[in-house]
Every structure is written in structure tokens, then in C-alpha cells.
Amino acid sequence: MLGCTVMQYRGTALVTGAGSGIGLATARVLAASGFSVALASLEPDAPPLTDAMCYYRADIAQIGEHAALLARIIADLGPLTCLVNCAGVTSLVRGDMLALTPESFDRVLAVNLRGTFFLTQVVARHMLDCPPPADVPRSIITIGSSNAEIVGETRADYCMAKAAVGMMNKLFAARLASAGIAAFEIRPGIIHTAMTSPAVARYDRFVADGGVPMNRWGEPDDVAATVLTLARGDIPYATGIHLDIGGGMQLHRV
């Protein structure tokens, strides 16, 4: 853990994949809005932190390390009230799915599905054991992808993992609803991040040709704002749903 000042906040959130991109934007928005935030990421060096943020170097694919990570966060910041599953990787090589390698498939599934599921399992058990005051909402928010439904032939392993994450969200929602823990999935469209940088020219053409009705790329802050809405409990009578944050890209148009 890299230094933080622990104060009393709206709740405590763990954001995985928080070293950059959507995860970092989410951590910053939550911290600015009254949460104390644990940022977990593989990067050896922490991004700039505020007093409300603590950084933990962690690889969620290493499921044997989940319990120790959670214990450190609880000791530093207190019981978790929000988990944001943002850690994810894409295919080692974009290309023909007939050439997809087991190495790429296993890597994507290890992080995007297996690691995410088992970390959520550990956090869910903790949330059930440590209920907060009645006025504090609890949530598990998973960053999926528009590729849960939209075919991306050059990233078959990524698409399959994100489709499975959609069902994972529904399963946790059903299991935890009676305890007052909501589960949501956010499906970003084309967002400016390191993951999309190899395909900038292609996506620029796609946006210019009308593929995104709002006629622009998305930004990490677009997704982070949605996470904040859910984490604050601003949609109180909902769970198990997904929200498309893609500028209308997910609309089927003829």
C-alpha cells in the first residue's frame, strides 16, 4: 500500500485496473465524491493520489492472493461497500479467430472472467459478513463491454469473456439482492484508452461514418460518471441490469 490518509467517507470502494484509463478515472471520481478508494493495479508505481486514495499493486488473475489483498484494504480503509471490477486485458493479437492461440485465450479468461469472478466472490462474502449502517448503499459494479453482444471477430476471446461477465453480473445480483447488495454491469463502447489505441484509425473511421450516433469517442470519465451514479445508490430499485455507455453504438439500426 502506498500512503493515504484515512478519513470518514461515503463508503469504501475497491477499484481494480485502477492504474490508468477507465479504472483510474473511476477511482478519481469516487474519491472526489466522498468515497475512500483502494486502487488495485499491476503497475509498480501509483498514479497521483489524493488523501482519499490508497494504491495496492495486485494481479487479480492470482486468485490465491485475493483474501490477503482484501484484508490489507480493510485494515487500512475499513469494510468495503463498493467493488468496481475494471481490470481487464484484450487479445494478445487482433486477428482471425481461426488463428487464436490458447495462450491468448487463457490470459484473457484468467483476468476478465476467472479473476474477476473469484475476487467478486471474496468481496461478496465480506459484504455479507460486515453490513454497513442502513443508509449506506452497497454495490458490485463490473465493467463489461459492448462486445458482450456486438461481434468483434478480431478479438474472439475478449468477446466470449465479456459475454460471460454479463451472466456473472446477473448471478451475483440474484444471490445478493436480499442482503441489499446491488450488482450492475456497464458496457462501454469505443472509449479512449490504451486498450483501444491500436485501433484508433479504424475507430475514427467508424465514428466518422456514423457508427456512433452521438458522433464522438467516449472518454473514461463518461464511464466513471455512470459508476458514481450506481455506487451512490441513485438507482435504488434496480439490480442485475446492464447499462450501455457507447453513445448509441449498441442501437440496432436499419
- Nearest alpha-carbon partner for 154 in 88, 89, 96: 96
Distances (CA, A) of 246 to 52, 56, 215: 29, 30, 10
- Dihedral of CA atoms 47, 52, 58, 62 in degrees, nearest 10, equals -150
Q: CA-to-CA distance for 37 and 30, rounded, in angstroms?
A: 7
Query: Is 158 one of the catalytic residues?
Result: yes
From 9, 55, 56, 158, the catalytic residue = 158
| Grid coordinates of 78 | 475499513
Q: Return d(Cα 89, Cα 23) in angstroms, integer.
A: 13
Q: Per the structure block, which three cell numbers stand in for 200?
A: 484508433
DSSP 36-97: EEEEEES-SSPPP--TTEEEEE--TT-GGGHHHHHHHHHHHH-S-SEEEE------SS-S-G
Q: Which residues are catalytic?
A: 158
